[in-house]
């Protein structure tokens, strides 16, 4: 959190310095930020001081590997995973009883509808250009899903 | 704690009475994917025509090119709402889109956009007639739990030899309605009848072509068996059912397979099976090892879909009115059947056959209007027993039979006026099918199909027939009334099927009486 607020302060400094007429560039904020400059006091346990190491069992790791297609074999990857879980877990402490879930800030907006007419397509060359291997206008892929190799099996 | 103890005590009581034999029940639930008839895809502007050249009906969005966003097709929402209303659903004022994740080459996004938390519509009810050969017609009602909009995936061709898959994305992003029915069915016939009725409704609404051979309508069946009074058994899912006939066959096979396993003391495992139409059996599909975790999440690129539910409201460019769409719903098949039974005095079975075959229904409506004096029974008998049988014999689809309603009406009129007989009428169906531009009157002249009603001519035929069939004559005179048919048949043969049979029968009876009196 400290790192994030540091970064915001950094952007604000740039915003203050930069020329307001320049093109839209998200690294250069043109308006004073609405993000609070000081973190709100909260009841979350402090991450940095949290040293208790919940071990993740190997079955869970294997499932996560399969779902995410990310290799969690190395010490480094495992550490990142653990800290991600710790970071996300803090949301559990927020009381949300009787609060309807907010899925999008656009909830009250009408969803844009499009008329039913063909306006795209017929661009096989462009579409296939992104593929590494093609054959007679098909994309070519490995057969089905190949599960990641499991080290403990 | 106390509860726990009482349960324990009950459980340790000796079983006093032998458990009575309880019948096995089968439970069937269907999931139907119907491709919405539209010219462009659900979220992109690429085309939807079946059989387009490989990877040509693909927009950058369908190929998941970064930076593309989904824009919902208005027509697809309208079709979904119409279908929902026709099936008695409650359309939801707000529905939402979700991402359902799975990693597969023909799903370039890595997820399918579907509706899970809040679907377009819920709580429908479908009532349909079930005709099982040798059983009385009955009506069945099945709850429609949910109707949701979602995308289709691309198509993969598996090349086992070179160990690779070939992917065509033309189907990726096509609009689908998924209809989830409650497990209220019991047999394969009921399931097939449900799908038949659904197809009739969707075709009337023009929201789906229902061409199962093109994959425009796909049916998955969930099947389980349990003993009366028990909770539902472990279910298997049968996929890959490619025709209406297969639905009934696949489900009947699967029920019997499960009953067989249970009777041998085995256990049914939760698995996905595939219907093999050639071998007529279900086979286990290679299953995913773990229960799939689809990791549903709200689709962040699509805000909720709002609909106007106010009665009398009109649609605007942004907000669709359910009331306005409900006015566009045509007469539904069940309504037509009731009208045929009440207004045209048809029996229920005949009404069902006519409604199942839209072409026959069209012919019937035309003929019953143009020949008001003709009893409807004669029209339906002719259409079902003669026209439909003719087409079935030739393995001809009714859609490909080009005989016009006006021509059929002319045939029936000639038949009614006794200008021709039934034999000639049947011959005319064949002649008209082969010469669609000829008129009925011309064909009758050309092929000399006029019925012979001249009493003298008929008498000559009858005398000849009596002479040819002395045995039958003798039997008839001894009181065997059925022997007359043999003589009548002989007359038909002699007259080349042209004699007026009513007059023939009268004439024969007279002749035989007079000879008997002599």
Domain count, chain A: 2
Query: What is the pLDDT averaged over residues B215-219?
Result: 94
pLDDT of B160 > 70? The answer is yes
Question: Structural domain of residue A74, as residue ranges?
Answer: 42-96
Within this chain, do residues A67 and A27 fall inside the same structural domain, yes or no?
no
Confidence bin at A53 (pLDDT 50/70/90): low
Q: Contact at 8 Å (CB) between B498 and B451?
A: yes
Domain B455-517 has CATH 1.10.10.60: no
pLDDT of B4 > 70? The answer is no
Residue A106 in domain? no
HSE toward the beta carbon, residue B143, CA cutoff 13 A: 8
Distance CA A81, CA A87 (A): 10
Domain with CATH 1.10.10.410 in chain B: 455-517
- Lowest model confidence (mean pLDDT) among B44-53, B387-396, B438-447: B438-447
| Chain mean pLDDT for chain A | 73
Torsion sign across C-alpha atoms B510, B514, B515, B516: positive
Within this chain, do residues A90 and A51 fall inside the same structural domain, yes or no?
yes
pLDDT of B91 > 90? The answer is yes
Where is pLDDT greater, at B347 or A42? B347
User: Above 0.95 for ipTM, yes or no?
Assistant: no
Other CB atoms within 10 Å distance of the CB of residue B48 = 24
Q: Report CA-CA distances (Å) from B271 to A66, B181, B226, B254, B286.
A: 21, 19, 17, 12, 9
Within this chain, do residues A47 and A25 fall inside the same structural domain, yes or no?
no
The pLDDT value recorded for residue A51 is 52
pLDDT tens-digit readout, B161-180 = 888 889 999 999 999 999 99
Within this chain, do residues A56 and A90 fall inside the same structural domain, yes or no?
yes
The pLDDT value recorded for residue B429 is 84
Within this chain, do residues A63 and A88 fall inside the same structural domain, yes or no?
yes
Residue A131 in domain? no
The radius of gyration of chain B's CA atoms, rounded to the nearest angstrom, is 31
pLDDT of B403 > 80? The answer is yes
pLDDT of A2 > 50? The answer is no
| Chain mean pLDDT for chain B | 86
The pLDDT value recorded for residue B192 is 94
Where is pLDDT greater, at B123 or B512? B123
Query: What is the pLDDT averaged over residues A78-85?
Result: 86
Among the partner residues A120, A126, A142, nearest to B46 by beta-carbon distance: A120
Within this chain, do residues A32 and A64 fall inside the same structural domain, yes or no?
no
CB pairs under 8 A between A and B: 138
A119 contacts chain B (CB < 8 A): yes
Q: What's the gap in Å between the CA of B358 and the closest CA on chain A?
A: 28
B320·A113 Cβ contact <8 A: yes
pLDDT of B425 > 60? The answer is yes
Within this chain, do residues A6 and A29 fall inside the same structural domain, yes or no?
yes
Query: What is the pLDDT averaged over residues A56-68?
Result: 83
Identify the burial level of B166 via C-beta atoms within 10 angstroms of its C-beta, where 0-12 means exposed, 13-18 middle and 19 or more buried.
buried
pLDDT of B33 > 60? The answer is yes
The pLDDT value recorded for residue B129 is 93
pLDDT of A55 > 80? The answer is no
The pLDDT value recorded for residue B286 is 62
pLDDT tens-digit readout, B19-28 = 566 788 999 9
B169·A103 Cβ contact <8 A: no
Dihedral of the CA atoms B52, B57, B62, B65 (nearest 10)? 130
Query: What is the pLDDT averaged over residues B388-399?
Result: 82
The pLDDT value recorded for residue B149 is 97
Other CB atoms within 10 Å distance of the CB of residue B96 = 21
The residues pairing with B219 across neighbouring beta strands, listed in sequence order, are B32, B241
**Residue that the structure tokens 């996929």 belong to:** B239
Which of A90-94, B77-81, B455-459, B479-483 is modeled with the greatest confidence?
A: B77-81
A121·B65 Cβ contact <8 A: no
The pLDDT value recorded for residue B477 is 78
Residue A150 in domain? no
Confidence bin at B59 (pLDDT 50/70/90): very high
Query: What percentage of chain A reaches a pLDDT higher than 70?
Result: 63
A141·B164 Cβ contact <8 A: yes
Nearest in space to B124 (alpha carbons), one of B143, B150, B139, B109: B143
pLDDT of B430 > 70? The answer is yes
Distance CA A146, CA A143 (A): 8
Q: What's the gap in Å between the CA of A132 and the closest CA on chain B?
A: 13
Confidence bin at B125 (pLDDT 50/70/90): very high
Within this chain, do residues A57 and A27 fall inside the same structural domain, yes or no?
no
The pLDDT value recorded for residue A140 is 92
Dihedral of the CA atoms B194, B200, B203, B205 (nearest 10)? -90
The pLDDT value recorded for residue A25 is 59
Mutation target to probe the A interface, by most A beta carbons within 10 A, among B95, B106, B166, B170 is: B166
């Amino acid at each position: 959190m400290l790192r994030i607020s540091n970064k915001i302060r950094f952007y604000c400094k740039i915003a203050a310095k930069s020329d307001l007429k320049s093109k839209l560039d998200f690294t250069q904020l043109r308006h004073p930020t609405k993000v609070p400059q000081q973190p709100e006091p909260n009841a979350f346990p402090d991450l940095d001081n949290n040293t208790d190491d919940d071990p993740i069992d190997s079955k869970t790791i294997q499932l996560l590997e399969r779902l995410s297609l990310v290799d969690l074999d190395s010490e480094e990857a495992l550490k990142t995973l653990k800290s991600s879980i710790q970071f996300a877990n803090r949301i559990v402490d927020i009381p949300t009883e009787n609060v309807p879930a907010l899925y999008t800030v656009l909830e009250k907006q009408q969803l844009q509808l499009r008329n039913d007419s063909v306006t795209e397509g017929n661009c096989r060359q462009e579409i296939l250009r992104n593929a590494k291997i093609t054959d007679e206008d098909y994309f070519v892929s490995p057969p089905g899903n190949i599960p990641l190799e499991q080290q403990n099996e | 704690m106390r509860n726990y103890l009482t349960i324990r005590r009950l459980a340790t009581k000796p079983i006093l009475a032998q458990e009575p034999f309880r019948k096995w029940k089968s439970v069937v639930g269907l999931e139907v994917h119907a491709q919405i008839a539209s010219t462009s895809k659900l979220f992109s502007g690429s085309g939807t025509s079946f059989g387009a050249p490989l990877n040509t009906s693909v927009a950058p969005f369908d190929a998941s090119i970064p930076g593309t966003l989904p824009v919902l097709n208005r027509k697809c929402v309208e079709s979904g709402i119409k279908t929902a209303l026709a099936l008695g659903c409650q359309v939801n004022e707000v529905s939402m889109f979700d991402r359902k994740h799975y990693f597969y080459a023909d799903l370039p996004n890595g997820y399918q956009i579907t509706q899970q938390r809040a679907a377009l519509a819920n709580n429908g009810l479908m009532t349909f007639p079930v005709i099982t050969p040798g059983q009385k017609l009955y009506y069945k009602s099945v709850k429609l739990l949910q109707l949701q909009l979602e995308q289709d995936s691309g198509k993969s061709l598996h090349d086992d030899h070179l160990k690779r898959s070939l992917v065509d994305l033309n189907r990726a992003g096509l609009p689908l309605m998924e209809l989830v029915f409650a497990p209220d069915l019991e047999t394969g016939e009921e399931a097939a009848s449900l799908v038949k009725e659904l197809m009739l409704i969707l075709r009337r609404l023009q929201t789906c072509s229902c061409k199962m051979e093109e994959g425009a309508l796909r049916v998955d069946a969930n099947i389980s068996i349990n003993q009366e009074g028990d909770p539902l058994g472990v279910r298997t899912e049968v996929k890959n059912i490619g025709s209406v006939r297969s639905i009934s066959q696949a489900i009947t096979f699967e029920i019997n397979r499960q009953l067989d396993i249970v009777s041998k003391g085995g256990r049914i495992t939760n698995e996905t099976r595939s219907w093999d139409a050639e071998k007529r059996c279900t086979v286990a599909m290679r299953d995913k090892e773990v229960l799939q975790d689809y990791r549903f999440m709200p689709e962040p690129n699509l805000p909720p879909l709002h609909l106007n539910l106010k009665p009398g409201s009109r649609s605007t460019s942004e907000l669709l009115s359910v009331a306005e769409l409900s006015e566009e719903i045509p007469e539904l098949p069940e309504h037509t059947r009731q009208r045929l039974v009440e207004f045209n005095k048809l029996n229920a079975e005949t009404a069902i056959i006519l409604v199942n075959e839209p072409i026959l229904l069209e012919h019937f409506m035309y003929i019953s209007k143009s020949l008001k004096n003709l009893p409807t029974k004669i029209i339906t008998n002719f259409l079902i027993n003669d026209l439909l049988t003719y087409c079935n014999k030739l393995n001809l689809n009714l859609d490909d039979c080009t005989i016009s309603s006006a021509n059929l009406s002319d045939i029936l009129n000639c038949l009614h006026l006794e200008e021709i007989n039934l034999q000639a009428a049947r011959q005319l169906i064949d002649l008209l099918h082969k010469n669609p531009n000829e008129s009925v009157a011309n064909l009758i002249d050309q092929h000399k199909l006029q019925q012979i009603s001249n009493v003298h001519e008929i008498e000559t035929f009858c005398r000849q027939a009596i002479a040819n069939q002395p045995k039958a004559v003798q039997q008839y005179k001894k009181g065997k009334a059925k022997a007359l048919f043999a003589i009548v048949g002989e007359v038909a043969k002699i007259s080349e099927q042209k004699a007026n049979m009513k007059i023939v029968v009268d004439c024969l009876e007279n002749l035989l009486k007079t000879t008997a009196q002599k």
